[in-house]
Structure 1
Amino acid sequence: MQLEKADDVKRLAEEINTKASLGLDLSKVIFLRSQHSKTTAIARTLGLPPQWRYVFGEDKIYIIEVISEKFDKLTCHQKIYVVVHELLHIPSGMKGGLRNHTYREFRNIRKIIKEKGLDEICW
């Protein structure tokens, strides 16, 4: 597996965070793109254990990883959906925990995208 920074995903997440008023401090999130991963996921959000926070710096708490072979083929609208989904895993307190899929907002992603005008982000 190869990893690289995903600045394009970071910019998209910043725009989503602002327009949707999610209130997340994205300076605490590392955005990565992986290639040749064996996962079936398109993207995933991970909480960094304390040992890795020491390595990356105390201010980094989460990783959002997109799987290049799957994510890069998506349309802009699909990428927005995926990034919103991954951002919803991060609680507003940002202390290292993750929300699971039972969190009610996961059922409302399309509604959030429409109401907050996130489709307008596509260029």
Structure 2
Amino acid sequence: MAKLRYERDPDTEKLVRKIVVCLRLDWIDPSRVYVVKSRESASNAIARIYGLPKVFQVSLGFEPCYVIELISEKFDRLPEEEKIKVLLHELMHIPKTFSGGLRPHGRYTSKQTIDKLYAMLRDAKKSGSC
């Protein structure tokens, strides 16, 4: 059985920053959203997001932050459009309070919402505003 490995992904972190700025997701501080790729995961998920719980923020003196974990074996095989939609889905779990908590699946993370955000992003890129 292979050992689960994590590696920071600065290229995808840059993409996340571009998405946040382009779509004006103003409640998200992209400098406190990190991306890691995991390898050798047995998970069925493509990606997950983790928030730093308040107890750790207070006890360790950290600001709220988030980590998006991309399951490399699944995420890397996706077409570019789907990769961006996965990132949008994970970003939409971040609440407007940017507190370290997470929104549950529902209205903000629905396929309809993600498709709408993707279309806005695509249109902004076409018009040159991003």
Same fold, TM-score > 0.5, yes or no: yes
Q: Which of 99, 110, 114 lines up with 1:109 in the alignment? A: 114
Superposed, 1:59-70 pairs within 5 Å as 59=63, 61-70=65-74
Distance 1:53 1:40 in 2: 33
Distance 2:91 2:123 in 1: 14
Alpha-carbon deviation of 1:76? 0.9
Q: Which of 89, 93, 97 lines up with 1:93 in the alignment? A: 97
Alpha-carbon deviation of 1:60? 5.1
Alpha-carbon deviation of 1:120? 4.1
Q: Which of 6, 9, 19 lines up with 2:9 in the alignment? A: 6
Give the alignment's TM-score, normalised by structure 1: 0.84
Which one has a bigger Cα radius of gyration?
A: 2
Alpha-carbon deviation of 1:118? 6.3
Gaps of 5+ in 2: none
Residue 108 of structure 1 aligns with an amino acid whose one-letter code is T
Alpha-carbon deviation of 1:103? 2.8
Give the alignment's TM-score, normalised by structure 2: 0.80
Gaps of 5+ in 1: none
Distance 1:96 1:75 in 2: 30
Distance 1:28 1:54 in 2: 18
Q: CA 1:54–1:79 in 2, change beyond 3 Å: closer, same or farther?
A: farther
Residue correspondences, number: 120
Superposed, 1:1-123 pairs within 5 Å as 1-23=4-26, 24-49=28-53, 50-51=55-56, 58-59=62-63, 61-104=65-108, 106=110, 107-117=112-122, 120=125
Distance 2:123 2:70 in 1: 19
